Chain A
Amino acid sequence: MKKSIFRKFLFCLCMVMSSLGVYAQEQSRTVKGTVTDEGGKALERVSVLVSGTTTSTLTNASGGFTVQLPPGKDVLEFTYVGAAKKMVKVEGDTLHVVMTFEDKKLDEIVVIGYGTKTKKDMTGSAVSISSKEFNPGLVGSSEQLISGKSSGVQIMTNGGSPTAGSTIRIRGGASLSASNAPLIVLDGVPLETGGISGNSSNFLSMINPNDIESITVLKDAASTAIYGSRASNGVMMITTKKGKGDQLKINFSTVVTLQQRKNVADMMSPAQFRSVINAEGTDAQKALLGSANTDWQKEVFKNAMGTDNNLGVTGKIAKAIPFRASAGYYNQHGNLQTDKTQRFTGSLVVTPSFFDKHLNLTLNLKGAANNNRFANTDAIWNSVAFNPTQPVYSGKSAFGGFYESLDNSGIPATGANRNPVGLLEQETRKSDVYRSIGNFDVDYRFHFLPDLKAHVTVGYDYSKGEGSVWIPATSANGYNVGGSNNSYSQTLKNKLFTGYLNYSKNINNVHRFDATAGYDYQHWSAKAPAITYYNEKGQLQSTAKASDERHVLLSYYGRVNYTLFSKYMITGTVRRDGTSRFSPENRWGTFPSVAVAWNVIDENFLKYNKVLSNLKLRASYGVTGQQDGIGNYSYMSVYQQGNSYANYRFGDEYLYVYRPSVYVYDLKWETTKAFNYGVDFGFLNNRIAGSVEYYTRKTYDLLANVSVPAGTNFDQTATTNVGNIESHGFEFQLNTTPISQRDFKLDVNFNATNQYTKVTNITLVKGATTVGTYAGPAVAGRGIQILTPGYQPNMFYVYKQVYDAAGKPLEGVYADLNKDGVINEQDLYRYHSPAATWMLGFNTQATYKKWSAGFTMRANIGNYVYNNTKMGLSAWETVQYVDAALNNLHKDYLHTGFKTRQYYSDYYVENASFLRMDNMSVAYNFGKVAKHVNMRIGAIAQNVFTITKYSGQDPEVTNGFESAFYPRPRTYSININLEF
């Protein structure tokens, strides 16, 4: 179909040109030549235009062309789909032209919601990153492929564990306390949000990153509004690889990695700890010093190995049906002992066409099996806090032979840290997760009206997670309850029906219409059977009820594109969503958008410009919604029955209780209204290309969990539509190719993102005076952050520390900010935000002959982190909580000498701006190493270095809160790629 449009286009072009007439001039000369791609393969149907004239021709099947050059004209313009336009000055009578495909192409097809568009025709803000540009090395989950590649897209791994997953933010997200995660659409199937029991945080890893062809990020509201009520936080469109080419091609790649361990925190050495206890401790404390010297962090964090192997086969079944099949095996151990994950994946895509490509079918099946073993992450905190003068093993048989702090009855003391090695070794938490995602697309172009196309997708996303927990009764952790032996499972089913009609009409190349109208039905169900918790001895411990929840989303949507002279473009979309999550009065919402664009470069006044190769202005406005982060039945008065451990006795009968749940009948979507302004530019044949974007965004009816008036609902807080936030941002993307020679090519890309968000209201009563709503991770009973109207969200709400002349923080001495002579909660202030003001990305890729090398760097500027690890380990009181045990101290104690923890001191809030090299790679392409075998070998280092003033483990942590953070390892990989 693509080809036929192209053919028509060319035909029209020829008609236009011939009608204008071609005036042959005297003294014209004939030039002959050939056009090939970089590999020397002849290119057919390359358009060859004599610059400044209307004389043109097309290359033939062997790439050859002949053209008449009028006198005074000696420049030829070569254009070809997917390749950069090339201007060549003709010196002799023959020439050989090589078209370059690596350059940023304006004819690149970008996947958008319910269709595709060329980049040139895009009116909204979208970034498409293809597999060639993906991050190399060990990639556990798909989103990491594009980390650092695009402005406005932030991807942060949640920690060093291979099961940790990532946090994805497009333009920082538009919500406050509901979901800020983007909608992810895989080959047209919107995926289940969140995770599943057994893989709650890394669910996207169930899609093999090696099967992905491209990831398109839709950023502005006009691009996302076609996804309506789920679009506020942006959309990530993942397209998987399909079969192409006639020949059977087999690709095999293998990556072997070593993850290098890191320490969690800078704790005292055994010798330092001894001397501090001997100097400052009581006799009882001195008596708790042992004779061992144990580096607990080294005991639990060790170097770890991993591997990722992929086999891909593409070709045609019976020389007619394109297919791709793949299989993958990924295995990664975590640095934290016992932590590991492995994944088996398989996929099959067949794309048969019938009736002269009028009917195109796609059958896409993906399956994954994932086995995890989760380490007990309490061991992280305990590895830094455990007494370094005690040994790992006690030499006795009790508690698995591990040294433990015992109380005066000889049992593990309540409140004491447990031996971190024991926590890891004496606990087995495993899960097996299976996921299958599939879609069957029918794409039919009507025979009687080829401009009209019908498309139907039937898709599903089915997954099942099963897991078990086993803790022996002899372990210190399980001692009081006789251990644990239980299992759980959950099943998620997501069914999708999509159907739309698309009509596109090109009238004389002047008017182009493209209209789409469709209908979606999506049904989700989540089921988990009741759980019975047993201890290791088989004694009943507790129960949890079964759960079975469903929700449905119905949608109608449409889009109209109109293009005039290929220069002026307008796109309008509308979607109407109905959800089962809201009451009948509120369940329907309409989400419109409009976008305009102007290809200035095609105007006459720029036409013969040699410097500027692209200039496009864009503006858009859209309304989108957000409905994740609220329950499926939150608008109903739901009663839950308690289990037998929460009975209440009347007489001799233990009654099961019924409890009403908090509910808000009037719940509705969060609504975001956003403007976006963009400029796309390109210089020198787009060897310098980029874009600048600016957006403003207002979110209304924020779904926030806020205090409701006491006594009016069944909790202090309810998730309701309450707040407003405003944000604006600036994004800059620059892709350059400073060197583009046959043997040497250099790409340098840079992106920058600036974001600012402000809370404008967060109370039910508008304008109510309030210091705000506590938010973020709890420190000493309240969230360390606060949401206050007029301020950035989640600012740290702390006291201003006072220092002595030597720069030492004075314990309990804070600035009396309100100058009332008393230091109390009225002196707390809002000190910075965890959100970075600037995020920068920088990546480069160089190829020289058969060598290639590159790196990706990222920087965040202006982000702050509260170091809870340091706070909670560096005051004298933290050295002992229970009579039976001492805890190690953070070296910062030697600096502060704090007696008690200074929970709310801004001393612990640090500037965590950083520059990180995410990856660095070098590869050598051996080319043909045997008959039909090409080989490529690469070496990659990931998380190479981080430059920061932040004193903790890692400046890039969730919520700007570092607490026993699982360090991200530095990773070294060797990658071998074979192609047959």
Chain B
Amino acid sequence: MKKILSLILIVSLLASCTKDLNQVPSVEATSESVYTSLANYKSVLAKLYSSFAVAGIEKGDGNADMASSTASWGYLRVYFNLQEIPTDEVVYTWAGGDNLTNIQYMTWGASDTWVSAMYYRIYYTVALCNEFLRNATDEKIASFSAADQASLKVFRAEARFLRALAYTHAMDLYGNVPFVTEADKAGAFIPPRIKRADLYAYIQSELQAVEEVLPAPLQNEYGRVSRAAAWTLLARNYLNAAVYTGTADYTNCLTYCNKVIAGGYTLEPVYKKLFNGDNDKRTKNEIIFPIEADVTHTTTWGATTYLVNGPIVGSMKAADYGVVSGWNSIRTLREFVSYFPDQTGTADKRGDFWTNGQTLNVDDPSSSSQGYSIVKFTNLNDDGSYTTDGGLVNTDFPMFRLADVYLMYAEAVLRGGSGGTVGDAVNYVNLIRERAYLNKTGDINASTLTLDFILAERARELFWECTRRTDLIRFGRFTGGNYLWQWKGGTVNGVAVDAKYNLYPIPTTDLASNPNLIQNTGY
């Protein structure tokens, strides 16, 4: 009796249980279930944007996108470290513990964790964009309503823009890199290597392909891009074309600067308000493309949280900047301080250094009392109030803004691009100067508008906005010995460094995984 029962049991189990091997997640979704509604597409698109802002999908970068601890600091913090820490604008306190010494001293190698973190962060965003585009082809969206399809086509253009932005960073930081598009299947394959100039051409063509699909300037929703963002990126790449391709293209730079300037953007009258907790409102005037942060909704310990808390050192009071406690991380170098007429922001309001308890010279980079601090990013609202949550901030990061476009315009004119005039260049620069000085005493004229002035003015206006390394390279002053600052090359007064450091190396891990890649010269 029993054996019959057990035999029946066995046979029935054998038959029914093989189906049990098909288990699917019950809380999470799968690619099949996600790409079924416009709202879901929009949610995926939101992740493409937020991949620049936060490093995870829970509070404070929780449930991290990437396993690597360094990459978990998020795109913007890593990008800041590579674009700013090796320059004259920053000295970093925790270089030892955060493994940033080699970045600060320009002695990085191909195994550097930050070099690797940025590289993979970029390709993470590229992979997200590709996955989105793969699932948003005409064929895949054919079943949607006409209105939805129209929206999806704009989403697609945005994804291509974001991918172009990420690829721009890859091109600028690493040069010749792997190349992956939505045409490649996700998963195990070996991407080809693309040369820097070819990637440049691809990026520019992508941006030109999407510019007409994107909304007109200032017609976009907050947080999303308009065609002005594509134009600004085009202009920035054209400005650096000589670095990327060996052939300058200042005329095209001016073409796109002109499009942005004609787009209706205006300078925010108060410089500080560009970087405060209410600066989402500046997308109505000056900020062309923000990377968001929000104390309750878009929370990260990288990005602007880092830029607000980091420079609070020594005797500075955290509450004065809308947070709870300073991080003692970021200070400036004397070379940067010297760009300003005074150290207290008396004439040029942008140069309001914190000197109390701080020394100007930095003899010990790890001492947070050496080097002046400066307040650029704060979590304060326009009215001086603030909300924070343990130091989280509401401050957006202006990836692109009009003042940068003005300065690009001036530089392109000075470098011989056609389509602009010196007169307009002087006017645009003076708009920036007058905002900084609150009057015309800082105005310049055609004779004082020199390339050196432009580089210095970019430092004054755009410091800590992640353009410095690119600017110094364009001016031939990042490596070599014709411009030294403290701790360049790892010595107290600075020393010439090898030109190979104009590019970061391809991380050894990817060289090992992708045999198509070739290491950059000198590494």
Q: Please give the residue numbers on chain A whose beta carbons come within 8 Å of chain B beta carbons, in ascending order.
A: 284, 359, 407-409, 411-415, 442, 444, 446, 454, 456, 480-481, 497, 499, 519, 521, 523, 541-552, 554, 578-580, 584, 587, 632-633, 636-652, 654-661, 663-666, 705-717, 720, 763-765, 768-771, 773, 778, 780-782, 824-826, 877, 881-883, 900-901, 903
B512→A825 contact, CB < 8 A:
no
A414–B366 CA distance with the chains assembled, in angstroms: 16
Would you give 20 A-B contacts (Cβ < 8 Å), ordered by A?
A: A408-B315, A442-B6, A456-B6, A456-B9, A549-B26, A578-B21, A633-B25, A640-B57, A642-B58, A647-B294, A660-B31, A660-B128, A666-B187, A707-B509, A709-B514, A710-B123, A711-B126, A714-B131, A715-B67, A716-B123
A407→B325 contact, CB < 8 A:
yes
Which residues of chain A are near B123, meaning CB under 8 Å? 710-711, 716
Of all chain A residues, the one with the shortest Cβ separation from B167 is: A711
Asked if B306 lies at the interface with its beta carbon under 8 angstroms from chain A, I say no
Which residues of chain A are near B29, meaning CB under 8 Å? 638-641, 658
Which residues of chain A are near B327, meaning CB under 8 Å? 414-415
Which residues of chain B are near A665, meaning CB under 8 Å? 187
Given contacts A444-B3, A650-B46, A717-B67, contact A552 B57 (CB under 8 A): no
A542–B366 CA distance with the chains assembled, in angstroms: 34
Interchain nearest-CB distance for A350 vs B (Å): 17
Asked if B139 lies at the interface with its beta carbon under 8 angstroms from chain A, I say no
A714–B131 CA distance with the chains assembled, in angstroms: 9
Asked if B99 lies at the interface with its beta carbon under 8 angstroms from chain A, I say yes
B178→A650 contact, CB < 8 A:
no
Q: Please give the residue numbers on chain B whose beta carbons come within 8 Å of chain A beta carbons, in ascending order.
A: 2-3, 6, 9-10, 13-14, 17-18, 20-31, 33-34, 40, 42-44, 46-47, 49-50, 53-54, 56-60, 62-63, 65-71, 96-99, 107, 109-114, 116, 119-120, 123-124, 126-128, 130-131, 177-180, 184, 186-191, 221-224, 280, 292, 294, 296-299, 309, 314-319, 324-328, 366, 368-369, 389-391, 508-515
A642–B51 CA distance with the chains assembled, in angstroms: 12
A708→B180 contact, CB < 8 A:
no
Which residues of chain B are near A652, meaning CB under 8 Å? 222
Of all chain B residues, the one with the shortest Cβ separation from A446 is: B3
CB-contact partner of A359 in B2, B62, B319, B512, under 8 A: B2
With A414-B328, A648-B47, A763-B513 known, 15 other A-B pairs at CB within 8 A are A284-B369, A548-B27, A554-B20, A637-B30, A645-B59, A645-B299, A648-B46, A650-B222, A650-B224, A654-B297, A709-B513, A710-B119, A780-B96, A781-B98, A881-B328
Given contacts A707-B512, A711-B123, A716-B67, contact A648 B189 (CB under 8 A): no
A716→B120 contact, CB < 8 A:
yes
Of all chain B residues, the one with the shortest Cβ separation from A797 is: B111
CB-contact partner of B42 in A521, A640, A650, under 8 A: A650
B191→A711 contact, CB < 8 A:
yes
CB-contact partner of B3 in A454, A633, A659, under 8 A: A454
A636→B186 contact, CB < 8 A:
no
A781→B99 contact, CB < 8 A:
yes
A655–B224 CA distance with the chains assembled, in angstroms: 12
A705–B296 CA distance with the chains assembled, in angstroms: 33
Interchain nearest-CB distance for B317 vs A (Å): 6
Interchain nearest-CB distance for A581 vs B (Å): 8
Which residues of chain B are near A549, meaning CB under 8 Å? 25-26
CB-contact partner of A651 in B184, B189, B223, under 8 A: B223
Which residues of chain A are near B10, meaning CB under 8 Å? 499, 519
A651→B222 contact, CB < 8 A:
yes
A456–B5 CA distance with the chains assembled, in angstroms: 11
Which residues of chain B are near A542, meaning CB under 8 Å? 58-60, 62
A709→B107 contact, CB < 8 A:
no
CB-contact partner of A708 in B112, B309, B513, under 8 A: B513
B47→A642 contact, CB < 8 A:
yes
Given contacts A781-B70, A877-B96, contact A824 B107 (CB under 8 A): yes
Which residues of chain B are near A481, meaning CB under 8 Å? 389-390
A666–B98 CA distance with the chains assembled, in angstroms: 36
Of all chain B residues, the one with the shortest Cβ separation from A414 is: B325
A659–B43 CA distance with the chains assembled, in angstroms: 9
Which residues of chain A are near B40, meaning CB under 8 Å? 658
A711→B127 contact, CB < 8 A:
yes
Of all chain A residues, the one with the shortest Cβ separation from B44 is: A658
Which residues of chain B are near A764, meaning CB under 8 Å? 188, 513
CB-contact partner of B298 in A641, A649, A717, A883, under 8 A: A649
A768→B50 contact, CB < 8 A:
no
Which residues of chain A are near B124, meaning CB under 8 Å? 714-716
B21→A587 contact, CB < 8 A:
yes
CB-contact partner of B296 in A545, A641, A645, under 8 A: A645
A900→B512 contact, CB < 8 A:
no
A716→B71 contact, CB < 8 A:
yes
Interchain nearest-CB distance for A635 vs B (Å): 10
CB-contact partner of A883 in B33, B187, B314, under 8 A: B314
Which residues of chain B are near A408, meaning CB under 8 Å? 315-317
Given contacts A480-B325, A778-B69, contact A660 B319 (CB under 8 A): no
Which residues of chain A are near B315, meaning CB under 8 Å? 408
A657–B53 CA distance with the chains assembled, in angstroms: 12
Task: Among A444, A579, A715, find the residue whose CB has the most chain B CB atoms closer than 10 A.
Answer: A715
Interchain nearest-CB distance for B521 vs A (Å): 16
Which residues of chain A are near B43, meaning CB under 8 Å? 641, 655-658
Interchain nearest-CB distance for B378 vs A (Å): 16
Task: Among B42, B97, B98, B113, find the residue whose CB has the most chain A CB atoms closer than 10 A.
Answer: B97
A523→B127 contact, CB < 8 A:
no
The 5 closest A-B pairs by CB, nearest first: A642-B57, A781-B99, A770-B512, A645-B59, A711-B180
B221→A647 contact, CB < 8 A:
no
Interchain nearest-CB distance for B354 vs A (Å): 13
A656–B44 CA distance with the chains assembled, in angstroms: 9
Interchain nearest-CB distance for B34 vs A (Å): 5
Of all chain B residues, the one with the shortest Cβ separation from A545 is: B27
A409→B18 contact, CB < 8 A:
no
A548–B23 CA distance with the chains assembled, in angstroms: 11
B113→A782 contact, CB < 8 A:
yes
Which residues of chain B are near A649, meaning CB under 8 Å? 222-223, 280, 292, 294, 297-298
A715→B66 contact, CB < 8 A:
yes
A707→B513 contact, CB < 8 A:
yes
A882–B515 CA distance with the chains assembled, in angstroms: 45
A658→B34 contact, CB < 8 A:
yes
Interchain nearest-CB distance for A719 vs B (Å): 10
CB-contact partner of A709 in B3, B6, B191, under 8 A: B191
A519→B512 contact, CB < 8 A:
no
B46→A781 contact, CB < 8 A:
no
Task: Among B62, B69, B114, B314, find the residue whose CB has the most chain A CB atoms closer than 10 A.
Answer: B62
A638→B18 contact, CB < 8 A:
no
Of all chain A residues, the one with the shortest Cβ separation from B325 is: A414
B509→A413 contact, CB < 8 A:
no
Which residues of chain A are near B111, meaning CB under 8 Å? 771, 782, 825
A373–B60 CA distance with the chains assembled, in angstroms: 27
Which residues of chain B are near A499, meaning CB under 8 Å? 6, 9-10
B366→A647 contact, CB < 8 A:
no
Of all chain A residues, the one with the shortest Cβ separation from B126 is: A711
Which residues of chain B are near A541, meaning CB under 8 Å? 59, 389
A649–B391 CA distance with the chains assembled, in angstroms: 20
Interchain nearest-CB distance for A448 vs B (Å): 10
Which residues of chain A are near B6, meaning CB under 8 Å? 442, 454, 456, 499
A705→B299 contact, CB < 8 A:
no
A826–B109 CA distance with the chains assembled, in angstroms: 9
A222–B349 CA distance with the chains assembled, in angstroms: 78
Of all chain B residues, the one with the shortest Cβ separation from A707 is: B509
A796–B109 CA distance with the chains assembled, in angstroms: 19
A636→B30 contact, CB < 8 A:
yes
B67→A705 contact, CB < 8 A:
yes
A547–B23 CA distance with the chains assembled, in angstroms: 14
A712–B324 CA distance with the chains assembled, in angstroms: 41
Which residues of chain B are near A638, meaning CB under 8 Å? 25, 28-30
Interchain nearest-CB distance for A42 vs B (Å): 38
Which residues of chain B are near A716, meaning CB under 8 Å? 66-68, 71, 116, 120, 123-124, 509
